[in-house]
Amino acid sequence: MIRLATLAATLAALTICATADAQTRLTIDRSSPIGTIEPEVYGQFLEHLGAQPYGSIWVGEDSDIPNTDGIRDDVFAALDALNIPVIRWPGGCYSDRYQWRDGIGERAVRTNAAWGGTVEPNTFGSHEFFNLAERLGAKTYLNINIGTGTPKEAADWLEYITATKGDRANERRANGRENPWTIDYLAIGNETWGCGGHVTADYYADTYALYASFAKTEGEQPARIISGSHDENIEYSDTILDHPYIASLAEGISVHVYSLPTGDWGAKGAATGFPEAEWISTIDRALRMEGVITDQVAMIEKHEDLSEDFGLYVDEWGTWYDPATEDTPALYQQNSMRDAVVAALNFNIFHTHAERVKMTNIAQMVNVLQAMILTDGAEMVLTPTYHAFEMYKPFQGATALPVSYDAGAYSHGDRSIPAISISAAETPDGNLIVGLVNADASASHSVDLGALGASGFEGRILTADEMDAHNTFSAPDTVMPEPFSVRSGNNGLIATLPPRSVVVLKAIE
């Protein structure tokens, strides 16, 4: 017994040594706001791909799984709790094969040639998407087909969705929807440098201008988004923006940024059971987002004909791992504490670029890549990424504020990256909120909040004992937010962030 007690005391002392490390003082400049964090920064992406949406979001009215008009009740309730501001649909690569008429009225069964030739029943089509968005109170982001479609088909689709008069409006009514829906955002093409046609930037810029000239809705026009480049590639987008008519035909341009542990598309790395080298490399690669956005914004601002409101839309981002087995549905992956850290790091970066980043869409919503939710038959589980989105909800629509702190360093092997990341904002009702991430896999980092003029802070923390801790159908609460508060002690107002943690706090006056 004595020996055990001694061992426990020694271990406790070692733990204290290991965690009593760097401390930084956070300051926030409330007098120089960066800009409004558009709620759409917390947007989602729903592509017809692998195990989405069939069986996971859409089960059909006749399913044994409880549903409302074919949408699963459990998944809907979980999504509803996220205050989803906008959903991009139907792709992705799939959008350039999507025939909208297959998904209205009598449905046509096709194959999904973009994603493995699986059966595409088209039972989730325009009506189902727009009704889902309407029930969630989410804006709509429609990606039109410029690959296998035509400008006429795109124009007809927009008329079907938004017209109040004429044959297409009547056809929509005959299919069960009296009032038009609203298209808030319109993507014209997707990854045209890749799956969207492998075309040059000049060819795409002309094609874009053609489609944008005819893609009109009844009533207010959607914001039109150019499909831009990816990662550090600037040239493709830069060339598109040189097109003489683009400034009058677009409200923004997109960029896609995925984080692979290895950076190698042939061997990306595993979703779970990975070594610390792949924890730090994934986070290092996720942190590239800062440089990507900075460079994209500089490139946009070089084009003086673009309006000050012209936006950068990060309409695909997230982690991308190798499939667990040969039978894993396309792009289905487990989601761990590492993913929650990646998500929160990205949120903090988006906040600091609030003046130009008008929307982002994590890839993707359910069962695909860095998903919010995983399903298997009637079972459903919320991922750590879901919890990060849920914790950061107060940032939607808040005003981003400049922060100053020393991020410290987290090193492993030959890599060294900033250990912590912080963003802050003021909510419309005047509350100061702070999002903090400790990306260090093994050490705590402390943040002195004493300069912020609050008597204390309260909020929640998401953390886990293991780097790859994740939720499963049999253990759904392994990674769950817990209450976290900071009160004034002998040392002042110190938030000690344990390794692998995400914290969101609200100041108490």
Q: Please report, for residues 88, 315, 342, 359, 385, the alpha-carbon distance to residue 45 in angstroms, rounded to integers and kept in the order given.
A: 5, 8, 17, 11, 14
SS (H, E, C) 487-499: ECECCECEEEECC
The interface mask with ligand AHR, positions 27-56, x = CB under 6 A, is --------------------x---------
Interaction of residue 191 with ligand AHR, rule CB under 6 A: yes
The interface mask with ligand AHR, positions 193-212, x = CB under 6 A, is --x-----------------
- CB of 196: closest distance to ligand AHR in angstroms? 8
Interaction of residue 316 with ligand AHR, rule CB under 6 A: yes
Looking at the Cβ atoms of 45 and 181, the one nearer to ligand AHR is: 45
Cα 485 from Cα 432, distance rounded (Å): 14
- CB of 410: closest distance to ligand AHR in angstroms? 29
Catalytic status, residue 278: no
Interaction of residue 93 with ligand AHR, rule CB under 6 A: yes
Looking at the Cβ atoms of 42 and 320, the one nearer to ligand AHR is: 320
Interaction of residue 190 with ligand AHR, rule CB under 6 A: yes
Strands 420-426, 415-417: parallel, antiparallel or unpaired by DSSP? unpaired
> Contact region for ligand AHR (CB under 6 A) — 91-99, 152-160, 204-212, 260-268?
91-99
Q: Residue 479: CB partners within 8 Å, gap ≥ 6?
A: 336, 337, 340, 384, 387, 462, 464, 469, 470, 471
> Contact region for ligand AHR (CB under 6 A) — 97-105, 134-142, 187-195, 240-248?
187-195
Looking at the Cβ atoms of 205 and 362, the one nearer to ligand AHR is: 362
Could you tell me where the beta strands, DSSP code E, fall in 343-481?
357-363, 373-376, 379-382, 399-401, 403-404, 410-412, 415-417, 420-426, 432-438, 445-448, 456-463
- CB of 369: closest distance to ligand AHR in angstroms? 6
Interaction of residue 92 with ligand AHR, rule CB under 6 A: yes
Looking at the Cβ atoms of 65 and 195, the one nearer to ligand AHR is: 195
Q: Could you say which of 91, 125, 311, 499 contacts ligand AHR (CB under 6 A)?
A: 91
Catalytic residue among 120, 128, 159, 191: 191
Looking at the Cβ atoms of 255 and 369, the one nearer to ligand AHR is: 369
The interface mask with ligand AHR, positions 357-376, x = CB under 6 A, is ------xx----x-------
**Burial state string for 290-320 with b = 16 or more CB within 10 A and e = fewer than 16:** bebbeebbebbeebeebeeebbbbbbbbbbb
Catalytic status, residue 308: no
SS (H, E, C) 149-217: CCHHHHHHHHHHHHCCCCHHHHHHHHCCCCCCCCCCEEEECCCCCCCCCCCCHHHHHHHHHHHHHHCCC
- CB of 393: closest distance to ligand AHR in angstroms? 23
Catalytic residue among 128, 278, 316, 390: 316
Q: How many residues bind ligand AHR (CB under 6 A)?
A: 11
- CB of 363: closest distance to ligand AHR in angstroms? 4
The CA angle 293-369-351, to the nearest 5 degrees, is: 30
Q: Residue 174: CB partners within 8 Å, gap ≥ 6?
A: 105
Cα 308 from Cα 296, distance rounded (Å): 14
> Contact region for ligand AHR (CB under 6 A) — 9-17, 100-108, 188-196, 413-421?
188-196
Looking at the Cβ atoms of 319 and 463, the one nearer to ligand AHR is: 319
Instruction: Report the DSSP beta bridge partners of residue 456.
Output: 487, 508
Contact predicate 372/365, CB 8 Å: yes
Cα 130 from Cα 56, distance rounded (Å): 17
Interaction of residue 315 with ligand AHR, rule CB under 6 A: no
* Residues in contact with ligand AHR by the rule CB under 6 A: 47, 91-93, 190-191, 195, 316, 363-364, 369
Catalytic sites, residue numbers: 191, 316
